[in-house]
Amino acid sequence: MSVTSQVTNKVQEAQDAINKASVNAAAKASSIAEDVSAKMDETMDKADAALATVTQQSREIAEKARTATESFKTTVEATVREQPLAALLLAIAGGFLVGTMWKSRS
């Protein structure tokens, strides 16, 4: 066997090894890309579900706050109508307390 044919065989073997490595690398890259895509889809689904839950909970909290505010307002209005003098004295006492606290902070 001549040196030229040996070199040609070695070059052919190297090209075959490079082609095989290239195919393996492409297959691995494709597999990794599919895995990443699946994880991204899963993460997006979880994020969407979490956002929906937070949105629903926020609506419920806002509704409870609105209901509590209306109830408090109704109670205060009824108390002022039924006992205007007591309400006035409470308002004065509250103003005095706030003023005292404000003054002590200065």
Tens digit of each residue's pLDDT (9 = 90 or more) over 53-80: 999 999 999 999 999 999 999 998 998 8
User: pLDDT (tens digit, 9 = 90+) per residue, 75-100?
Assistant: 989 988 999 999 899 899 999 999 99
Residue 105 reports pLDDT greater than 80: no
Q: How far is 45 from 40, CA to CA, in rounded Å?
A: 9
User: Who contacts 80 (Cβ-Cβ below 8 Å, separation ≥6)?
Assistant: 87
pLDDT at 1 over 70: no
Q: How far apart are CA 93 and CA 98, in angstroms?
A: 9
Residue 6 has a pLDDT of 86
